[in-house]
Chain A
Amino acid sequence: MSPRVGSPAMYRYEDRMLFVVVPLFVLSVIMYFSLSHFHLHPTRIWAVLFAAFMSSPAVALIFSIGRYLSEEKDEFQRSLLVQSILWALGVTICADFFWMVLGTYMQIPRMKDQFLFAMVFIVSFWVNRWRYR
């Protein structure tokens, strides 16, 4: 009997992440830095479209997670994903708050919040999953 590494729902979830969420995230990072590098300031409809595009990775991610939770039949994997998301959100909010309070009293470099804290979220998410390897 071959060992079961991941469920079909997990494979579909990983595919969606790989082909939709990651390229969207990379594109939005490139776009964000390109605009600030060339000192471009989109106005009106372009600003709205730009903001919508910047938030699209988060929307795609939420949609992808929702689909996974409805498709996954393995109850432990479902609860592990929810637990990992909650841990990652907690750590990210704490890190964000810590940095904000620290910045009030000390001279610290300002961070590009959305990208740095996306990294904090991803790392803490995988640390929690790793506990149940």
Chain B
Amino acid sequence: MKNRLKVLRAERDWSQADLAERLEVSRQSVNAIETGKFDPSLPLAFKLARLFDMRIEEIFTDEEQLG
């Protein structure tokens, strides 16, 4: 699953550690989600959506739907 996390984070001038602190997860987790190595659960995806004030599908893209 692709995501726009890195772009959204950069727009707010946040480091991975800053975002991790806001999400109450580790920096490793943010890095793994950004690089697509780990897909977050629904609760974490909703948390991200609330944090960026966006809908989940504006942050995450279903590759199968694109393909």
Contacts and interface: CB of A to CB of B under 8 A. Distances in A.
A77 B20 CA distance: 13
A80 to B, nearest CB: 7
A75 B26 CA distance: 10
**Most B C-beta atoms less than 10 A away, residue of A1, A7, A73, A79:** A1
Interface band, chain B: 10 to 19
Interface string B1-39: 000000000000001011011001111110111000110
Contact of B21 (A2, A76, A80, A132): A2
B37 A132 contact: yes
Nearest to B35: A132
Contacts of B28: 76-77, 80, 132-133
Main secondary structure on B side of the interface with A: helix
B27 to A, nearest CB: 6
Contacts of B31: 132
Interface residues of A, number: 16
B19 to A, nearest CB: 10
B21 A3 contact: yes
Contacts of B15: 3
B40 A4 contact: no
B65 interface: no
The 7 closest A-B pairs by CB, nearest first: A3-B17, A76-B29, A74-B25, A1-B21, A4-B20, A76-B38, A1-B18
15 contacts: A1-B18, A3-B17, A4-B17, A4-B25, A74-B24, A75-B25, A75-B29, A75-B40, A76-B29, A76-B32, A77-B25, A77-B29, A79-B38, A132-B28, A133-B28
Given A3-B15, A4-B20, A74-B29, 12 more contacts: A2-B21, A3-B20, A6-B26, A7-B25, A74-B25, A76-B28, A77-B25, A77-B28, A77-B29, A79-B38, A132-B28, A132-B37
